[in-house]
Amino acid sequence: MSRTIATAAVRGAHACVARAESQLALAIAKHGRDRAVGFEGTAYCLPVILALTGRRVEKLGELEAALREAKGWLPEVPSEKLWLPYLGSALDAGVATLVAHETVEALKPLLGVPLAAGPWLGPTPDSILREQGIKLVDGRMPGFAACVGALPDDETAEQLARDLQERNILVFMGASSNGTSMAEQLQRRGVEMSWETFLVPYGPDTSSLVHALGFACRAALTFGGLKPGGLLESREILLYNQRRVFAFVLALGPVDDEKYATAAGAINFGFPVIADTDIPEILPSGICTYEHVVSNVPHASLAARAVEIRGVKIRTLEIPIPVRHGPAFEGERVRKEDVAVEFGGKHTRAYEYLRSRPMDAVEDGKIQVVGPELADVPEGARLPLAIFVEVAGRKLQPEFESILERHIHSFLSEPMGVMHLGQRDTVWLRISKKARDAGFRISHLGTMLLHKLKNDFPAIVDKVQITLFTRGEEVEALYPEAQAAYAHRDERMGALTDESVDTYYSCALCQSYAPNHICIITPERLGLCGAYNWLDGKAAYEINPHGGNLPVKKGAVVDPVAGQWQGINDFVESASNGAFTRFSAYSMVQDPMTSCGCFECIACVLPGTGGIMIVDREYPGQTPVGMPFSQLAEVTGGGQQTPGFIGIGTLYVLSRKFISGDGGLARLVWTTTRIKERLGERLRERCAESGHVDLYEKIADERVCTELEPLIEHLAAVEHPALALGEMI
Amino acid sequence: MLNLQAKKWPGKLREVSLGKAGLRVGGGTGLPLHTHEAAFPHRPLLALEVTDIDPPRFAPTLRAAWEGALGKPALAAERAVKEHGADLVMLHLVGVHPDRGDRSAEQAIADVGAVLAAAGAPLIVKGPGVSEKQNDVLMRVAERFAGEGLVLHSACQESYKTLAAAAVAYGHVLVAESPIDLNIAKQLNILLGDASVDLDRVLCDPLTGGLGYGLEYTYSVMERIRLAALGGDPMLSCPVICLCGEDVWKAKEVWVPEEKAPDWGETAARGIHWEVATALALLAAGADLLVLRHPEALRRVRRQLDTWFPRG
Ligand code: SF4
């Protein structure tokens, strides 16, 4: 912790406690120790003191005891020479300061100073807390800002208030700087301040800010089900605030000792301090989720910075584009006659490229069209396009880029009148005349992406900036970078082998339909539905640690050939409720993985051939095993281990680990033309890699035969390598 | 006689206490109805549903059973408990829905108060469906009846925080509803736990499909939930509530008049059969609390329960 801040905070704390003591002495002299003390309309006595000490202070005598306890927490003011950089002492000083502040506030009415006067509302009664506090807890209000001091001028004050209001953030105001306060500034601007407008002026003094923390404490006690008590309980209350109440302090104007002390108090709640002046920063996180004190923030970006530092997530309910949108419009086509503008397809270069960037390199919400907009081109024009999405997030890992980028397709398919096909540099995008007439512009593609990325991936996406290039020059200029990124990702995915990681991911999403079914997803074996690969599992866990995807440590190798690990087997046993104790990643005959029902393809052993066949879901006809897909699905599915039958994702066929324990790709004797088409050249390459001459050509499909006898004859004729491998079962 | 070896499970269901007087539900230590090998400290509870307004979607034969009490929730609740023998009542706030009367929170509070007084039994309060309105109204009801131990129906994955806070702040029981999906049921409970809700104050509603309309899905999910609970998963061990009547009385089979389908038999009897058949299957799947609509269905299910779990 910064020495300057710590020293100032401790000094300030001493001053605050001393003042509270002298005022308390005054009040006791005037009214006696039995005189009742407290705020109106609350059952929580003096809430901050209650939360932090567990004391229910109702009389001046009890307040005296509470203050004495707080005084005991005060560390010594660090001397010039002897100084241990100890965050704890400043935090203790902060807590003591809050007790002193609440004391001073509670004494005000007894000493003839009204709590509510002029613009100031004073402490919040429980009735309003119940009404408004719930919004903080259930997320309707993302957080609150405690604004300390004043802005350089009235206009800037109003701008800040509007910036915060726009984000639905509750604004508490108190204290002053340079002889005025934010509340007074707003009053001069004629801004209405009340609980209805989310602008709540507490009081003119630094001590008035304690009411904001009193509000937070009571929210925790009411809605968090927490009970006040000793130290342990107070810790719980602070933690609750840190995790759930997204509040922060805006230090506006010069920061004196008392304000430092108060800020130290707020940091105990996990509320960071964002200042517009040049005070020392405290960056590393510890108590607060991210930074503790950030300074010198320009007024125009105060609200945005604060939201980012506190990790407040704001969801946009209504995405501001002029056409309707939703998954319902996803399959929609825009026909040639209806096109207002078109990108890609066969005609122009069009690609999308999403990259992760450091937090400070992304200007959140910035959407730019570089090149002609819709209005600048004739109807039916064909333009090049680069959709360049820059994303930053505290928890964003570069490997998630491809996952987010893959979502561009579904996001851009959602607006009515927009057709999006393909991905990466095979994009084909059309905007219809109707959409254009409704006011849709190229820039709205960015709007859509911006909000969808932030709404759907709040855990990993904090900031998004989008540039839409529609001029050839710029589109070409960025293209090499995009290409390099695609290649790099593919290379990484290629290098991502089962051996190179120590953790696989489970997927239990299908358990509702197939009791006891569990998918184990490895880098080289994707989920059998084809929709989840290892990276998806990893990202899904990051996004929602309570969801259906969990990390599973491999543990010791049990069987390297069949692909069994102790950690996986243990997990499978518990996740399948004891139904299965062993899973092989690379074998379909020895302890094969279970299959739910949503497999893309079924692989099954063909007795008499030494090989297997693979049939896809769409294939309607008969197969050499004597069953069409539908019948095979009954044998394979239901979450059972059926040796010789597994459900697989189509892409697993291309994996080097494709039933590698059973002999690998050389076992494949029959499949459907659809699968061959889908895997295309890549299957050819894998066949070549397998070392068997002309393997690809030897694999039969429904054009060769659909029965076992002729298949065996065919295999013999072409000398398929499977024949030599021997029967699998 | 066949000597069956009793199956012992590592886990058991939670026990939840409903209402001010503390009517208890759950606590079973084995598979549903396996009374020969497991302990069931509480018989499954049977509730009847009453509505705040004259329900727009009750089949004629169901309306007949509630003659004179439709849209009079207090009267209906009194009949439900005193005449028909329901263990508790579910007040369905149909009329709060913006399209079905848009009744206010104050009106809902008045209804809840009247029903509580008339029924003298624990009360489930069901909102008009997921929406801000439901949250708002149930929140106010919860606040007004703090400490009454109401059962609030329901919190779901998309919207649970408001009612979670209401249950915590005002001491009510919360129903966690999931769309026939074990993972969501579990995840929702984890989320509720995170939101400081005591899971001993939660009932799980896995969403009921009536006979012929998805009952087998519900059955299978309930089976899984129970197996997981008994296997020791604390996040799935909340007692299960099924809104049996609601889905049953939507079925075509209970609506079609006998003139149109002579070989289906008498319409009135058919509806009751449909509800009883669904109810018995749900009990076999592990329901701890059934909400029914037809008083005669309740009577018959009760008779069956009496043979499964002799009173005493
Ligand atoms: S099939 Fe797909 S969705 Fe289902 S459990 Fe496996 S990976 Fe998950």
Q: What's the pLDDT tens digit per position in A198-222?
A: 999 999 999 999 999 999 999 889 8
- Does the pLDDT value for residue A85 go beyond 60? no
Contact A512 B182 (CB under 8 A): yes
Please, what is the end-to-end C-alpha distance for chain B in angstroms?
A: 26
Contacts of residue A285, defined as CB under 8 A and 6 or more positions apart, other chains included, come to A291, A292
Contacts of residue B49, defined as CB under 8 A and 6 or more positions apart, other chains included, come to B89, B90, B92, B126, B243, B245, B246, B291, B292, B293
β-pair partners for A390: A355, A465
Chain A: residue whose CA lies nearest to B231? A577
Q: Which tens digit of pLDDT belongs to each residue from A247-286?
A: 899 999 999 999 999 998 998 888 888 899 888 777 655 6
* Chain B residues touching A139 at Cβ < 8 A: 161
- Does the pLDDT value for residue A444 go beyond 90? yes
Task: Give percent of chain A above pLDDT 70.
Answer: 96
For ligand 1, atom 1, the nearest C-alpha belongs to A529
Task: State which ligand 1 atom lies nearest to the alpha carbon of A598.
Answer: 1
Spatial separation of the C-alpha atoms in residues A70 and A96, rounded to whole Å: 5
- Does the pLDDT value for residue A665 go beyond 80? yes
Our CA-based measurement puts residue A366 at a distance from the nearest CA of chain B, in whole angstroms, of 29
Contact A225 B197 (CB under 8 A): yes
Q: Which CATH number is associated with domain A3-310? A: 3.40.50.2030
Token digits of residue B254: 């209970």
pTM, full prediction: 0.72
Question: Is B26 a domain residue?
Answer: no
Average pLDDT, stretch A10-30?
Answer: 95
Q: Which tens digit of pLDDT belongs to each residue from B16-27?
A: 999 999 999 999
Task: State which ligand 1 atom lies nearest to the alpha carbon of A596.
Answer: 1
Check residue B171 and give left, alpha or beta (phi > 0: left; psi -120 to 50: alpha). left
- Selecting from A138, A226, A546 the residue whose C-beta is nearest the C-beta of B165 gives A138
CA distances from A675 to A615, A700, A702 (A): 8, 12, 11
- Does the pLDDT value for residue B298 go beyond 90? yes
pLDDT at res. A102: 96
pLDDT at res. A288: 66
Q: Which of A319, A369, A318, A320 is nearest to A341 (CA)?
A: A369
- Selecting from A137, A515, A544 the residue whose C-beta is nearest the C-beta of B224 gives A515
Chain A / chain B CB contacts < 8 angstroms: 63
B37 interface with A at CB cutoff 8 Å: no
Token digits of residue B211: 């006979």
Strongest mean pLDDT among A503-512, A519-528, B303-312: A519-528
A512 interface with B at CB cutoff 8 Å: yes
- Span from the CA of A529 to the centroid of ligand 1 (angstroms): 6
Spatial separation of the C-alpha atoms in residues A499 and A551, rounded to whole Å: 16
pLDDT at res. A472: 94
- Selecting from A130, A224, A548 the residue whose C-beta is nearest the C-beta of B196 gives A224
8 Å CB contact between A665 and A690: yes
The torsion angles phi and psi of A583, rounded to 5 degrees, stand at -130, 135
Alpha-helical (H) ranges within A374-498 are: 401-413, 433-437, 443-456, 472-495
Question: Is B230 a domain residue?
Answer: yes
For the ranges A63-77, A135-149, B255-269, the lowest mean pLDDT is seen at A135-149
A513 interface with B at CB cutoff 8 Å: yes
Our CA-based measurement puts residue B221 at a distance from the nearest CA of chain A, in whole angstroms, of 6
Cis geometry, peptide bond prior to residue B154 (ω within 30 degrees of 0): yes
Contact A137 B143 (CB under 8 A): no
Our CA-based measurement puts residue B96 at a distance from the nearest CA of chain A, in whole angstroms, of 20
Pocket test for ligand 1, best of A536, A596, A602 (most atoms within 8 A of CB): A596
Question: Is B235 a domain residue?
Answer: yes
Spatial separation of the C-alpha atoms in residues A16 and B304, rounded to whole Å: 72
Task: State which ligand 1 atom lies nearest to the alpha carbon of A528.
Answer: 1
The bridge status of strand A611-616 relative to strand B45-51 is unpaired
Q: Give the mutation candidate from A134, A241, A244 for the B interface (greatest B CB count, under 10 A).
A: A134
Contact A137 B166 (CB under 8 A): no
| Ligand 1 neighbours by CB, cut-off 6 Å | A 507, 509-510, 519, 527-529, 531-532, 596, 598
- Span from the CA of A616 to the centroid of ligand 1 (angstroms): 17
Which residues span the domain enclosing B264? Answer: 31-308
Question: Is B245 a domain residue?
Answer: yes
Question: Is B80 a domain residue?
Answer: yes
- Selecting from A134, A138, A512 the residue whose C-beta is nearest the C-beta of B221 gives A512
Question: Burial of A267 by CB count in 10 Å (0-12 exposed, 13-18 middle, 19+ buried)?
Answer: buried
CATH number, position B126: 3.20.20.20
- Span from the CA of B73 to the centroid of ligand 1 (angstroms): 46
Q: Is the dihedral of CA A648, A653, A657, A658 positive or negative?
A: positive
- Span from the CA of A533 to the centroid of ligand 1 (angstroms): 10
Spatial separation of the C-alpha atoms in residues A153 and A268, rounded to whole Å: 31
A138 interface with B at CB cutoff 8 Å: yes
Give CA torsion, residues A173, A176, A182, A185, to 10 deg. 140
- Does the pLDDT value for residue A509 go beyond 90? no
The domain tally of chain B equals: 1
Pocket test for ligand 1, best of A504, A520, A525, A528 (most atoms within 8 A of CB): A528
Q: Which tens digit of pLDDT belongs to each residue from A534-580?
A: 988 888 888 778 777 899 999 999 999 999 999 999 999 888 877 89
Q: Which of B227, B140, B180 is nearest to A130 (CA)?
A: B140
pLDDT at res. A287: 63
8 Å CB contact between B292 and B298: yes
Q: Which tens digit of pLDDT belongs to each residue from B40-80?
A: 999 999 999 999 999 988 999 999 999 999 999 999 999 99
Question: Is B120 a domain residue?
Answer: yes
Mean pLDDT of the residues in chain A: 89
Average pLDDT, stretch A591-601?
Answer: 90
- Does the pLDDT value for residue A61 go beyond 70? yes
List the strands of the sheet with A601-606, edge to edge: A645-648, A601-606, A611-616, A668-671
- Selecting from A140, A224, A546 the residue whose C-beta is nearest the C-beta of B191 gives A546
Average pLDDT, stretch B228-246?
Answer: 92
Q: Which residue has the tokens 């066929």?
A: A653
Question: Is B16 a domain residue?
Answer: no
CB atoms within 10 A of CB A643: 14
Contacts of residue A559, defined as CB under 8 A and 6 or more positions apart, other chains included, come to A584, A661
Our CA-based measurement puts residue A7 at a distance from the nearest CA of chain B, in whole angstroms, of 37
Average pLDDT, stretch A697-703?
Answer: 95
Spatial separation of the C-alpha atoms in residues A115 and A674, rounded to whole Å: 77
CA distances from A300 to A153, A155, A247, A303 (A): 13, 12, 19, 8
The torsion angles phi and psi of B17, rounded to 5 degrees, stand at -110, 125
Contacts of residue A564, defined as CB under 8 A and 6 or more positions apart, other chains included, come to A557, A558, A582, A583, A584, A585, A591
* Chain B residues touching A518 at Cβ < 8 A: none
8 Å CB contact between A653 and A668: yes
For the ranges A67-71, A220-224, A720-724, B278-282, the lowest mean pLDDT is seen at A220-224
Q: Which of A140, A188, A195, A190 is nearest to A172 (CA)?
A: A195
β-pair partners for A117: A120
B136 interface with A at CB cutoff 8 Å: no
Q: Which tens digit of pLDDT belongs to each residue from A393-408?
A: 888 888 888 888 888 9
pLDDT at res. A290: 67
Q: Which of B77, B16, B78 is nearest to B204 (CA)?
A: B16
* Chain A residues touching B183 at Cβ < 8 A: 508-509, 511-512, 547-548
Contact A577 B139 (CB under 8 A): no
* Chain B residues touching A517 at Cβ < 8 A: none
Amino acid (1-letter code) at residue A721: P
Question: Helix, strand, or coil here: A148?
Answer: strand
Our CA-based measurement puts residue B187 at a distance from the nearest CA of chain A, in whole angstroms, of 6
- Span from the CA of A530 to the centroid of ligand 1 (angstroms): 8
- Span from the CA of A509 to the centroid of ligand 1 (angstroms): 6
Q: Which residue has the tokens 């997981």?
A: B228
Q: Is the dihedral of CA B296, B299, B300, B302 positive or negative?
A: positive
CATH 3.40.50.2030 residue ranges for chain A: 3-310
Q: Which tens digit of pLDDT belongs to each residue from A323-368?
A: 988 777 777 789 999 999 999 988 999 999 999 999 889 998 899 9
User: Domain A503-725: which topology?
Assistant: 3.40.1470
* Chain A residues touching B204 at Cβ < 8 A: none
Task: State which ligand 1 atom lies nearest to the alpha carbon of A521.
Answer: 7
Our CA-based measurement puts residue B231 at a distance from the nearest CA of chain A, in whole angstroms, of 7
User: Domain A339-411+419-480: which topology?
Assistant: 3.30.1650
Give CA torsion, residues A136, A141, A143, A146, to 10 deg. -100
Task: State which ligand 1 atom lies nearest to the alpha carbon of A511.
Answer: 5
Token digits of residue A50: 């209650």
A548 interface with B at CB cutoff 8 Å: yes
B223 interface with A at CB cutoff 8 Å: yes
Chain B: residue whose CA lies nearest to A544? B187
Token digits of residue B172: 């009510």
Contacts of residue A336, defined as CB under 8 A and 6 or more positions apart, other chains included, come to none
- Selecting from A508, A512, A546 the residue whose C-beta is nearest the C-beta of B180 gives A512
DSSP 8-state secondary structure symbol assigned to residue A328: G
Instruction: Show the CA angle centred on residue B168, arms to residues A238 and A55, nearest 5°.
Output: 45
- Does the pLDDT value for residue A317 go beyond 70? no
